[in-house]
């Protein structure tokens, strides 16, 4: 092989190696971009955990479906609906959550003092009313002597609906003697719906969604207003998503759904 031919072959071989290296680098870059795209897509599949007062059960699900999911498709929102004090106890015990929404400011203040949440914002309000089973078999007429022989059910004082009940007693000048005290307002509603109680003190929103009951208006209760605050949990691993859920609740669309469910403006 003459020197000229050998030189040509050497140049060709070097060019081939160079092209192979470029091709390899291009493949690595493409694979890297694909991985980044997949990671980004997977990021939209995160789970958001919302701790919320029991009275928010249906409306928060509606806000998730009709408002939050529009801008966050694929994000799974897991709700835990309990009495506000129970939710606070769970957070203190280390239960993982991203958002906390309570049925009064008192419980949220305790969460703030324990350094569990960021700055809260009031997003709605509620008042109490009385419900009785359909037909009102015990003939209850209000916060009066008609309750003497009736099975009245209320919330425990430690939870917001129970705290409001105590304020209502004072405002109405009565001393109630409940047959039982429940951990959350939905349990009070359920006992009246099933006929296990002759009367129950619940939020107006719970009364509106209750089945097989009649509502007895309590004028004194209109002065007892529970404001509902919402906040991002400080230990949340999804801070931005939690902020976005708060924005959905506070948005015009979220507020319209709350109003439709019978909640008041904060």
Burial class (CB in 10 A: 0-12, 13-18, 19+), 250: middle
Q: What is the dihedral of CA 168, 171, 174, 177, to 10 degrees?
A: 20
Six-digit token pair at 184?
């959350």
CA distances from residue 37 to 27, 44, 163, 177 in whole angstroms, order as listed = 15, 11, 51, 62
Q: Strands 47-53 and 121-133: what pairing?
A: unpaired
Q: Any binding-site annotation on 185? A: yes
Q: Any binding-site annotation on 228? A: no
Q: Any binding-site annotation on 84? A: yes
Q: Any binding-site annotation on 203? A: yes
Instruction: In whole angstroms, give the CA distance from residue 71 to residue 162.
Output: 37
**What residue numbers does the annotated binding site cover?**
55, 84, 185, 203
**What residue numbers does the annotated binding site for molybdate cover?**
55, 84, 185, 203
């Amino acid at each position: 092989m003459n020197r000229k031919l050998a030189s040509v072959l050497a140049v060709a071989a070097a060019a081939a190696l160079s092209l192979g290296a470029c091709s390899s680098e291009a493949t690595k870059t493409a694979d890297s971009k694909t991985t980044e795209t997949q990671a980004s897509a997977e990021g939209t599949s995160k789970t958001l955990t919302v701790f919320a007062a029991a009275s928010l059960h249906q409306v928060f699900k509606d806000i998730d479906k009709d408002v939050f999911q529009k801008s966050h498709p694929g994000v799974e929102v897991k709700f835990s609906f309990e009495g506000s004090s129970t939710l606070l106890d769970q957070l203190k015990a280390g239960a993982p959550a991203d958002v906390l929404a309570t049925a009064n400011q008192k419980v949220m203040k305790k969460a703030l003092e324990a350094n569990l949440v960021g700055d809260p914002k009031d997003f709605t309000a509620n008042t109490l009313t009385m419900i009785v089973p359909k037909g009102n078999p015990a003939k209850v007429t209000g916060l009066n002597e008609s309750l003497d022989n009736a099975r009245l059910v209320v919330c425990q004082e430690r939870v917001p609906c129970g705290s409001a009940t105590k304020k209502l007693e004072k405002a109405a000048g009565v001393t109630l003697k409940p047959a039982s005290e429940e951990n959350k307002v939905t349990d009070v509603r359920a006992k009246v719906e099933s006929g296990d109680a002759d009367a129950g003190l619940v939020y107006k929103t719970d009364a509106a969604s209750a089945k097989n009951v009649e509502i007895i208006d309590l004028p004194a209760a209109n002065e007892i207003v529970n404001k509902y605050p919402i906040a991002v949990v400080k230990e949340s691993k999804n801070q931005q998503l939690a902020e976005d859920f708060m924005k959905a609740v506070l948005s015009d669309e979220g507020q319209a759904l709350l109003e439709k469910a019978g909640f008041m403006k904060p």
